[in-house]
Amino acid sequence: MTVFILYNPCYLHKLIIKYIYWLNTVVFLFNPLPCCILALTTTTHHSCKFFSGKMGLFKAAGVVYKPVEEIDLGPDSNEFYLKANVKAPRMAGFLVKIFAWFLESRIIGTLLLYILKRNNLIHKLVSNATLEEAPMFVPLHPFVDLNEQEVEQIDSDASPAERVQRAMNCLPLTLEKSVDDSNSSSFRRWTIADYSRAYSSGEITPRKVAEQFINAVHESSRAALPMSFFINYDAEDILKQATESTLRYERGDPISALDGVPIAIKDEIDCSPYPTTGGTKWLHKVRPCTGDACCVMRLRSCGAIIVGKTNMHELGAGTSGINPHYGTTRNPYHPNKIAGGSSSGSAAVVSAGLCPAALGVDGGGSVRMPASLCGVIGFKPTFGRIPHTGVLPLNWTVGMVGILAGTLEDALIVYAAISGQLPSHEPTILPPKLLFPLLNSTNPISEIKFARYGEWFNDCSDEIRICCSNALHLLCEHYKWKTVEVTIPEIESMRLAHYLTIGSECTTSLSSALEKLDFAELGWDARVALRVYGAFNSKEYIKAQKMRNRQMQIHKNIFAKADVIVAPTTGVTAYSIFDDALKTGELDYINGAALVRYQIAGNFLGLPAVTVPVGYDKEGLPIGLQFIGKPWSEPTLMHIAFAMQALCISHHRKPKVFYNLLHKN
């Protein structure tokens, strides 16, 4: 059979052409970036010509990109917006296994991967493209004083607890609400300030909250549809932390406002006493966790109760949060829907009221996507703002620790605790001072300009387009801010370059482990992802870094016209979970491509970004609006997000799955 295939290319093509339509979906489906792939139009009628070279199999010409200074970024630019419009089938169960087997085949797999890359425009837009720019391997940004409005300066050597206190001073005064007050007409989640006040007043203790947390997690696991919030949590360790916090409050000596507050950690971040699995059944065996990541250490130093490791998509290689090993994290607003990936568990625990905040890692929207789908804040700082010591090095130039929180105020408090450089870092890496937004100021920031690319902004479902457009209009009208119409060119090229980058970095990081790994330990969708990731070579990686430099310059020019880029956070709301995907994972190009559509610049270019819940679709599923800022512009982004939140928070809805941990009974 092997000889027959090798010497009969027409037969080979006929054998695989029946599967190639489905295989074209493969590259799309892995978080953080499913590529935007065009359908393969070759038919069996042309199979012999295809493989004989007459159709140019080995002549994948590349684009010649014109100089950045010649690109028109105005609203009437003739730059073409390349839209993903492939109709590809969803695959799960046995079909996913078939694709994995074909791709892992030494001969057929190699040919299929080449065809996929060629017809998915990777060769045309990246691999064989001609770019003038030099490669930029790390998206480090030199510090530029942005003269941001209404900020508080904090010494960079202040302790995490001191920074938390300064952040608390930046928050608006709110009416105190008893933990037993359930008469409010609108829904709101308990905040870090609520926990702190309740503990200080003696209404409830951290120990009692910890007990209720443990009971709630048990309840969520025994539900008809298990929520699968956590990969690992230790009740004894949680109660030990809570008891120590309770004693501090009894002595009148809490460490900070975070003392006794439950915070969850994505299982991509080291956190004792738990292994760091990355959503796998094997990674912790080859990379043992030896202590806390820097960000976790800083939270502990503020007295926060670390309540466990949240569920995630295996290796961060998917947008759904479906994990065949630890269960599928379900959306608290609708347990039959996905929570999003890859920081699915962190988004869901915040949405469900189990924690006011959680940490995630954002390599391609992995914080902002699930935050939007679960109706919470998702905040990703500038690359390098938060130390990455102790985080799985799955994608070291695009992945960043991010924050998921019920409110923007809570995101600011956690950001204050974990940001800042390590003592060993060069002093020039970060700005000399930390700046926190004065959210309690009576003078809102002024003259903000939002860059909006209409074709891109509107490339989403009608419900999201209308909701986000209305929210942006309301924001501009209320604060007298302006929208500037622009063109952001080559979004698809940037997306492919990012996908190539994150895939190459993932397989390089895991290379020594993968050589010895029994692939039966991997989920089937992760097997497909790793096979595609491993198909990229050094030439393609360097071309992708040239594209990074090019897009850096393009976005710098965009930011010369406006302060912030605005877009929906996702192109679709949370979609349904089907039983056939629970044990294998799934490949869903259409939904996967829509989920990552607006995420890439934040990761590939290292820009700060935040998503804010602004409404719901007809099924009651949350919709998020995203703001992408200039490097080091976190205070301005937070001001804008806080303003957007203030206009929408009275319309927030309670999830179907929600736990009130501050209720005394």
Q: What is the pTM of this model?
A: 0.91
Burial bucket for residue 59 (CB in 10 Å: 0-12, 13-18, 19+)? exposed
**Contact of 174 with 240, CB cutoff 8 Å:** no
d(CA 137, CA 145): 24
Q: Is the residue at 160 inside a domain?
A: yes
d(CA 572, CA 619): 12
Query: Which residue in 117, 124, 266, 630 is the catalytic one?
Result: 266
Q: 506 — phi, psi (to 5°)? A: -65, -50
| Residue that is written with structure tokens 């979970």 in the block | 577
The HSE-up count of residue 577 (CA atoms within 13 Å, CB side) is 26
What local confidence, expressed as pLDDT, does residue 33 receive?
A: 35
Low-confidence ranges of the chain (pLDDT < 50): 1-57, 179, 182-183, 426-427
Q: Using H for helix, E for strand and C for coil, what is the string for 209-226? A: HHHHHHHHHHHHHCCCCC
What local confidence, expressed as pLDDT, does residue 501 receive?
A: 97
Q: Is the residue at 574 inside a domain?
A: yes
* Beta-strand relationship, 433-437 and 400-405: unpaired
Pull the structure tokens for residue 592: 């996967």
Query: Which residue in 342, 343, 346, 372 is the catalytic one?
Result: 342
Q: Is the residue at 517 inside a domain?
A: yes
User: In 3D, which of 336, 349, 383, 377 has the Cα closest to residue 363?
Assistant: 383
Q: 95 — phi, psi (to 5°)? A: -60, -40
User: In 3D, which of 344, 341, 338, 312 has the Cα closest to residue 325?
Assistant: 312
Q: Is 47 a catalytic residue?
A: no
Q: Is the residue at 61 inside a domain?
A: no
Q: 87 — phi, psi (to 5°)? A: -100, 100
Q: Is the residue at 19 inside a domain?
A: no
Question: What length is written for the chain?
Answer: 665
**Contact of 370 with 340, CB cutoff 8 Å:** yes
d(CA 73, CA 606): 21
What local confidence, expressed as pLDDT, does residue 640 receive?
A: 98
**Contact of 172 with 584, CB cutoff 8 Å:** no
For the domain that residue 472 is a member of, what is the CATH number?
3.90.1300.10
User: In 3D, which of 256, 213, 459 has the Cα closest to residue 352?
Assistant: 213
**Contact of 567 with 595, CB cutoff 8 Å:** no
Q: Which residues contact 180 (CB under 8 A, 6 or more apart)?
A: 203, 663, 664
Question: Containing domain of residue 511, as a range?
Answer: 151-179+188-421+433-651
**Contact of 288 with 275, CB cutoff 8 Å:** yes
Domain count, the chain: 1
d(CA 207, CA 305): 10
Q: Is the residue at 8 inside a domain?
A: no
Q: Is 446 a catalytic residue?
A: no
Q: Is 52 a catalytic residue?
A: no
Query: Which residue in 127, 228, 256, 366 is the catalytic one?
Result: 366
Q: Is the residue at 561 inside a domain?
A: yes
Q: Is the residue at 36 inside a domain?
A: no
What local confidence, expressed as pLDDT, does residue 30 receive?
A: 37
The secondary structure of residue 25, as a DSSP letter, is T
User: In 3D, which of 36, 74, 41, 57 has the Cα closest to residue 485?
Assistant: 74
What local confidence, expressed as pLDDT, does residue 269 receive?
A: 98
